[in-house]
Amino acid sequence: MSSFSSIVSPNATIVRPPFFFLSGFSNIPHVKYYYIFMCFVYAVTVLGNSFIMLIIYFERSLHTAVVFHLALVDMFGSTALIPKFIDTFLFHNQLIAYEACLANMFFVHCFTFMQSLTLVVLAYDRFIAICFPLKYHVIITYVAMVVILAVLWTLTAGLGIVAVAFLSRLSFCKSFVINSFYCDYGPMYRMACNDNSANYIISMIAITILLVVPLILIVATYVCIIFALLKIASTEEQLRAMKTCTSHLIVVALFYLPIAIIYIAAIVTIVHPNVRIISTSLSYTIPPMLNPIIYTLKTEEIIQAIKKLFNRVKVFK
């Protein structure tokens, strides 16, 4: 590999390399078995989320438009991440063009943050259903959900575009090796040899608005739900109401706990790069695979919809 100084012009005001080198997974032993596992994860993710979307599409009575949206985001998020890094490391295509790297970073982060915001909308849905059951169909309407999701997409895409725009103003004159398995924003802006303080601020704003605040809102929502349930006299009714929240709570735990553990571990102690890379890749890919399974097994409405669909198929035959 030629030296970095021979690739870029030293007199350029903003040094933009023609490509970056992704170093993640390079020094991990027996990593090919991990790629096979990721292929399995991606196949299950696509099939599972496609199945959930198909069920919701055909069963019009389902009030699970946001679940459909979560399945869509999960599938596209995994598609933005898994095929690329399997191709990159399994076939040793570790060089990625500058523009392609920025696009990869935008889509991976955009879909990840949309998963977070979609979980907030699902928490809001459960809050209205349990705390204001008589007003549920008045508040949770198709138009209201479209408007909420459109606002969330605008917010996420807007922050993503701003982040990419500020990253494109950085000069990479020291190194072009990204210590990650994809074009991660943090490792990239830290490689810059000019002032990257604006990028640090943008990353903190994005993490706060799109990860920390959503988690706080979800916790606050369930505190309100618990207080509402305590007012219900019957224990059976309380359990029935909480049962409708179990699938959402499991998905929230699967999404936020691994990310929180990684961040806390990085603050408290020195994490080996291989441990960080494996942990991050699992936290990005396992929840989208398990979400459709959880919603299928834990949501009675979806189970009934599956039974109806199979009965229709039998009648058609």
Q: What is the pLDDT of residue 53?
A: 87
254-293, pLDDT tens digit by residue? 899 888 888 777 677 777 777 888 888 888 999 999 988 8
Structure-block tokens of residue 84: 């690329």
pLDDT over 60 (residue 37): yes
Cα–Cα distance for residue pair 41/123, rounded to 1 Å:
26
Q: What is the mean pLDDT of residues 32-55?
A: 91
Structure-block tokens of residue 23: 């170093």
Residue 91: pLDDT band with limits 50, 70, 90: confident
Structure-block tokens of residue 21: 């080198």
Cα–Cα distance for residue pair 69/65, rounded to 1 Å:
6
Q: What is the pLDDT of residue 271?
A: 72
Query: Which amino acid, one-letter code, is at 182?
Result: Y
Pick the range with the lowest mean pLDDT from 3-17, 30-44, 162-176.
3-17
Cα–Cα distance for residue pair 168/287, rounded to 1 Å:
31
Q: How are strands ordered across the β-sheet holding 19-22? A: 95-97, 19-22, 177-178
Cα–Cα distance for residue pair 81/183, rounded to 1 Å:
10
| Count of residues in the chain | 317
Residue 317: pLDDT band with limits 50, 70, 90: low
Cα–Cα distance for residue pair 52/289, rounded to 1 Å:
12
Q: In whole angstroms, what separates CA 260 from the centre of its chain?
A: 14
Cα–Cα distance for residue pair 109/133, rounded to 1 Å:
35
Residue 1: pLDDT band with limits 50, 70, 90: very low
Please answer whether residues 107 and 80 qualify as being in contact, where contact means their C-beta atoms are separated by less than 8 angstroms.
yes
Q: H-helix or E-strand containing 95?
A: strand 95-97
pLDDT over 70 (residue 182): yes
Identify which of 43, 34, 67, 64 has the alpha carbon closest to the alpha carbon of residue 291: 67
Domain 16-312: which topology?
Rhopdopsin 7-helix transmembrane proteins (1.20.1070)
- Provide Rg for the chain, Cα atoms: 22
